[in-house]
Structure 1
């Protein structure tokens, strides 16, 4: 129910067309009708489309039938997003956004409304990392029995296969990325040879995915859940605000200090954190090259070179 036109934010359209190709374009064409259907189904009144919104999802601020504010989130169903609802259900609002309703088959979620314009990016880096580490520690819980989540071993293994394949692409040679790719492949193989612990992980944890709320100071959003070791989850946080570290005097020392502080703050093995940070930065950098985002690719690869 709404007099608000369901439109697609520019960033979402650009990302899905560039990153997901035909499936992304098809989803974008169907999204207004899809969202309108859920407004009716769940008796919601749309207030506004969130701009710029999510990187890969359409977010609409809504009111429930009783007037409660909420957020309707709809996105393309992928292997990474398929179990978001299951992770949110398991956390049940504990350090994460609370899920109010869901249709997992169509990747549509009804969530409590947070302060979408206030993320940890609004804080100075040191303070943001402290708050982020606190949220992460509360999210790292034992997964449910017979859980549906992919393991770090399986997921990182599939990323290694892709990275090995992409190594032969001309763009990788042109970017002088081959030594970093080889190091990332070797390092990740050693990490995957052992699995020291099994926690439910967020999977895509960074400052932008932690929002302010009325219920708690900070709550995590947008998980791409995995089960495995905490160092893998922490590695994506270590990559956050790369441009700040790379622009500082002595960037290599600055990167190493960040890794040490993050590892100490949550009692994670520093060398495993360093290894996963290297792998995730190189993998993200090479993926960015393949979709034509050379600016991000250069940042990720330069960061990886300093780990």
Structure 2
């Protein structure tokens, strides 16, 4: 068992709020102690903290009492219900949840190959494997599920787009279209399934019991086209760097929609919404260049 204090990876530290009184910073300050106590409580041996790691959790590679490898994860505040979603999937298309601590939020997960994601594959093969993985996650959430819904998040999304429209006259028509679509789409959806919520190629890792398994969900309930829209946007910079990029973007929408029997128009509309919303957030976070690229991508659709 480890006795020396651990240092959270810099990527995690820099991605959290800088306000020392925020829940995220208080959680970060307590993290070394939480990790040490969890190792003792679950009789785990620490190998190392996964680095560079993610922006919303700390993952430590550990060994269980019998020597079986596992991953100990501490999600940052603001990412609820990951354990509930993993419990529903029970290893089908996603990493298997072995144990959870409701007090600390710790999750003990099966060990995957963290350095090998779908991003290591050629683009066409990666998209094919990603589509096959995400379709396994689209299941009924049950009548009393705890997950947020796309419809329930509409007001906040519309507020964000309206504020951006007022501040960005040049992009106002595109922002207005995204706002109108974000209001209308949840009201016309005919399916309400459990979604990964943050699906992309980098969230699908190589495993032992299955070739590819999804990790890091931000689960919510809605229609499949919402999850698939994130896959359309995945590695969009690579697509934009090629020739005929606008046509290639529209082909990607059509290909993914047809491969999973999703309506092309709804996938196009959700992709535009997600691209514009992400552009607004990236710009607000200081990455104006990426925000402008996302708006350009959305305009091609």
Q: Fold conserved (TM > 0.5)?
A: yes
Partner of 2:250: 256
User: Of 116, 120, 134, which residue of structure 1 is paired with 2:132?
Assistant: 134
Partner of 2:33: 33
- In structure 1, runs of 5+ residues without a counterpart are none
- Say yes or no: does 1:224 pair with 2:224: no
Superposed displacement of residue 55, structure 1: 1.8
Residues 262-277 of structure 1: pairs in structure 2 closer than 5 A = 262-277=256-271
Partner of 1:162: 160
Partner of 1:119: 117
User: Of 230, 236, 241, which residue of structure 1 is paired with 2:230?
Assistant: 236
Conserved 8 A contact 1:77-1:107: no
Partner of 2:199: 205
- 2-structure distance, mates of 1:19, 1:123: 39
Superposed displacement of residue 226, structure 1: 1.1
Superposed displacement of residue 17, structure 1: 3.1
Partner of 1:297: 291
- 1-structure distance, mates of 2:102, 2:291: 32
Partner of 1:13: 13
Superposed displacement of residue 195, structure 1: 1.8
C-alpha RMSD over aligned residues: 1.8
TM-score w.r.t. length of structure 2: 0.95
Q: How many residues align structurally?
A: 301
Q: What SS is found at the alignment partner of 2:92?
A: coil
Superposed displacement of residue 4, structure 1: 5.5
- 2-structure distance, mates of 1:20, 1:227: 33
Which digits, 9 at most, give the CA deviation of each residue in 1:6-26, with x for residues without a partner? Answer: 111111111113699833322
Partner of 2:189: 195
Residues 133-152 of structure 1: pairs in structure 2 closer than 5 A = 133-152=131-150
- 2-structure distance, mates of 1:107, 1:20: 21
- In structure 2, runs of 5+ residues without a counterpart are none
Tell me whether 23-32 or 119-128 shows the greater mean CA deviation.
Answer: 23-32
- 2-structure distance, mates of 1:301, 1:45: 47
- 2-structure distance, mates of 1:258, 1:19: 40
